[in-house]
Amino acid sequence: MRPVTLTAGCLLLLAVSSCTGTPESVPQGPCIPIEEEQLTQEMITLPEGVVVRQRTSGGLLPVEREWLFYSDGRIRHPNGDITRLEQDDAATVLSAEEFRSLERLAKDYPAPPGSADFVTMDLTFRGPAGVCAITAADSSEQVPDQLFDYWDRLQQAARRSLQKR
Amino acid sequence: MKKMHVHNHHCSIQCILPPHMLESIKTRGNAEQRKMAMELEQEGLQFRDQRVAAAPAGGFLVAAVHALGTTAGPNREVYDGKSGSSLPGALLRSEGDAPSGDREADEAYDGAGDTYKLYADVFGRDSLDGNGLTLVSTVHHRRQYDNAFWNGSQMAYGDGNLFKPLTRSLSVIGHELSHGVVQFSGGLVYQDQPGALNEHFADVFGCLTEQYKKGQDASDADWLIGAEIIGPDIQGDALRSMKAPGTAYDDPLLGKDPQPFHMDSYVSSSSDNGGVHRNSGIPNHAFYLLAMMLGGKAWEKAGHIWYDAIQSINNPHAQFTDWADETVSGASQRFGAGSVEMLLTRRAWKLVGVY
């Protein structure tokens, strides 16, 4: 497996660097092992150096927004601003174990029939087993609480980094 | 299976080239373009045949019509989501209970009652399904959640962050519940033009819920969706404006209201389920124009024409022209062929470029 290059001391990236993943550990779901990433760019991709990409679209007021979390602790916000996670904040984002459990949640959670005004949450991340993607309609009762929790913690970390700059 | 896949592909082409454009190409294009348009149209008809064949064995749902004043009354339940994501949460208030003291819960309860009242009093519909369905609402959904949604069986309202709590706005509550009416009237697929019509119907009846409660004439109404939830940090008046789509807000964070009011500015988009909240501005404006041209209370004539259309269209994949045809036909049936109502309905669609 191709190693992930990490440079800074934030747990967001430590979570990834500490998980080497083996072919046997590749979970069921839309995860692409890192060594295959070049072959599957059209399926799931992440820009160079990005550990997590959060995207939202839809909702009663349909706003499309994207946050990029880089392996060196930088965060790119929807308005183009770049901030950096501080060490303390980084420690509260996602642990290595939580990245592993996030991989186990990797699949699509479509909107129930008839539903409307839901927000579509797209989460793409480099987990221990490779690049994974989760697409979830937040009106789906199938979306695990854990996924909402991880999602919200990433959002809170992004907000805190904006407030502290 | 393979055949279905092929037709799905062709459907996406149909969605990019709406029927009125095909008509235009057939009229004005060169020989090759006319041939292409006729082929696409033929494929669209084949796809429609498949949809008809795939319709539920029992037919699409049409709500029973009750004699006005004979519906049983609403049955409401409001739950506290306690800032979590699980639905429905802990029961806070049931039908007939005294106010809970939780402002958002009581707003959701009252708003559901107001929406029920519009559908019952004006259209003889007993709740969303026409059969007394319990109106379930969850308030305090998630933390700082700037949204409200209908999930196919209940409403969920966030407390907002940029926005005020979503229950502040009766037009938002009426909007969400009206998605349930669409669902229990055969449905409109939540993608591209049928999705925009789904949003449009919800906006229309969200506005009508508010106007009916206030007893307003069309000319006195603001025709805004969600004016009451706009927080002090947002530069704007509302989420949407049926009177002037595209002008509801212009904010550094949210951007500018992207709604068009005419087919010339129709947005083909992959986001927002194919721009369902954007292109709804076009039929929204048509309804506003019709209501203003007719004058008086919007629910008395225009509202009936639109309600008849959702009850009779029987096409979950309806395009804007299908919907327009249905309203013109419905106006003709309700008010007479060649009636002022029918002619003005057609004029409204012409003014927004659908005809």
Question: Residue B277 catalytic?
Answer: yes
Residue B71 located in a structural domain: no
Distance CA B68, CA B139 (A): 31
Task: State the ipTM, two decimals.
Answer: 0.80
**Domain match, B268 and B298 both:** yes
Among B141, B179, B277, B317, which one carries the catalytic annotation?
B277
**Domain match, B176 and B94 both:** yes
Q: What CATH number corresponds to the domain at position B232?
A: 1.10.390.10
For residue B152, give the nearest of A59, A64, A113 by CB distance.
A113
**Domain match, B154 and B280 both:** no
Q: Which residues pair with B137 in a beta bridge?
A: B78, B155
Burial of B52 (0-12, 13-18, 19+ CB in 10 A): exposed
Q: Over the stretch A82-99, which tens digit does the pLDDT of each residue have?
A: 999 877 666 668 888 888
Q: What band does B7 get if pLDDT is binned at 50, 70 and 90?
A: very low
Q: Looking at A51-55, B22-26, B261-265, which range is the least confident one?
A: B22-26
**Domain match, B119 and B231 both:** no
Residues of chain A in Cβ contact (below 8 Å) with chain B = 57-64, 79, 111-120, 138-141, 143, 145, 148, 152
Measured between CA atoms, how close is B77 to chain A, in angstroms? Answer: 18
Measured between CA atoms, how close is B337 to chain A, in angstroms? Answer: 34
pLDDT number for residue B140:
98
Q: Looking at A121-125, B34-38, B114-118, which range is the least confident one?
A: B34-38
- Using the beta-carbon criterion (under 8 Å), do A114 and B172 form an inter-chain contact? no
User: Three-class SS of residue A50?
Assistant: strand
Q: Tell me the percentage of chain A whose pLDDT exceeds 70.
A: 70
User: Three-class SS of residue B311?
Assistant: helix
Element (H, E) at A52: strand A50-58
The mean predicted confidence, pLDDT, of chain A is: 77
pLDDT number for residue A135:
95
- Using the beta-carbon criterion (under 8 Å), do B175 and A112 form an inter-chain contact? no
Residue B255 located in a structural domain: yes
Q: What CATH number corresponds to the domain at position B176?
A: 3.10.170.10
Task: Give, as one character, the DSSP assignment of residue B236.
Answer: B
Q: Which domain holds residue B133?
A: 76-183
The whole-number average pLDDT for the span A111-126 is: 94
Measured between CA atoms, how close is B338 to chain A, in angstroms? Answer: 36
Cβ atoms of A31 and A103 closer than 8 Å: yes
**Domain match, B205 and B175 both:** no
**Domain match, B171 and B201 both:** no
**Domain match, B225 and B102 both:** no
Residues in chain B with CB shorter than 8 Å from the CB of A105 are none
pLDDT over threshold 70, residue B39: no
Measured between CA atoms, how close is B336 to chain A, in angstroms? Answer: 33
Q: Over the stretch A31-51, which tens digit does the pLDDT of each residue have?
A: 665 544 444 444 678 888 999
For residue B143, give the nearest of A62, A112, A152 by CB distance.
A152
Residues in chain B with CB shorter than 8 Å from the CB of A111 are 151, 190
Residues of chain B in Cβ contact (below 8 Å) with chain A = 84-87, 142-143, 146-153, 156, 163, 166, 172, 175-176, 179-180, 182-183, 187, 190, 198-199, 202, 226, 239, 253-255, 271-273, 276-278
Residues in chain A with CB shorter than 8 Å from the CB of B176 are 116-117
For residue A139, give the nearest of B149, B180, B273 by CB distance.
B149
Q: Over the stretch B147-157, which tens digit does the pLDDT of each residue have?
A: 999 999 999 99
**Domain match, B253 and B335 both:** yes
pLDDT number for residue B242:
98
Cα dihedral B193, B342, B45, B22 sign: negative
Among B176, B210, B228, B341, which one carries the catalytic annotation?
B176
pLDDT number for residue B35:
58
Residue B68 located in a structural domain: no
**Domain match, B259 and B143 both:** no
Last residue of a domain, one of B166, B183, B200: B183
Residue B67 located in a structural domain: no
Mutate to test the interface with B, among A64, A81, A117 (most CBs of B within 10 A): A117
Residue B61 located in a structural domain: no
The mean predicted confidence, pLDDT, of chain B is: 86
Question: Residue B228 catalytic?
Answer: no
Residue B326 located in a structural domain: yes
CB pairs under 8 A between A and B: 97
The whole-number average pLDDT for the span A145-158 is: 92
Measured between CA atoms, how close is A68 to chain B, in angstroms? Answer: 17
For residue B152, give the nearest of A58, A61, A112 by CB distance.
A112
**Domain match, B210 and B175 both:** no
Query: Does residue B88 have a cis bond before it (omega within 30 degrees)?
Result: yes
Domains in chain B, number: 3
Distance CA B348, CA B355 (A): 9
Residue B207 located in a structural domain: yes
Distance CA B276, CA B80 (A): 29
**Domain match, B107 and B166 both:** yes
Distance of CA B87 to the CA centre of its chain: 24
The whole-number average pLDDT for the span A4-12 is: 36
Distance CA B104, CA B140 (A): 8
**Domain match, B103 and B225 both:** no
Angle at the Cα of B305 (from B125 to B153), degrees rounded to 5? 40
Residues in chain A with CB shorter than 8 Å from the CB of B274 are none
Chain A residue closest in CA terms to B186: A114
CATH numeric code, A30-164: 3.30.1560
The whole-number average pLDDT for the span B3-27 is: 34
Residue B58 located in a structural domain: no
For residue A139, give the nearest of B151, B166, B226 by CB distance.
B151
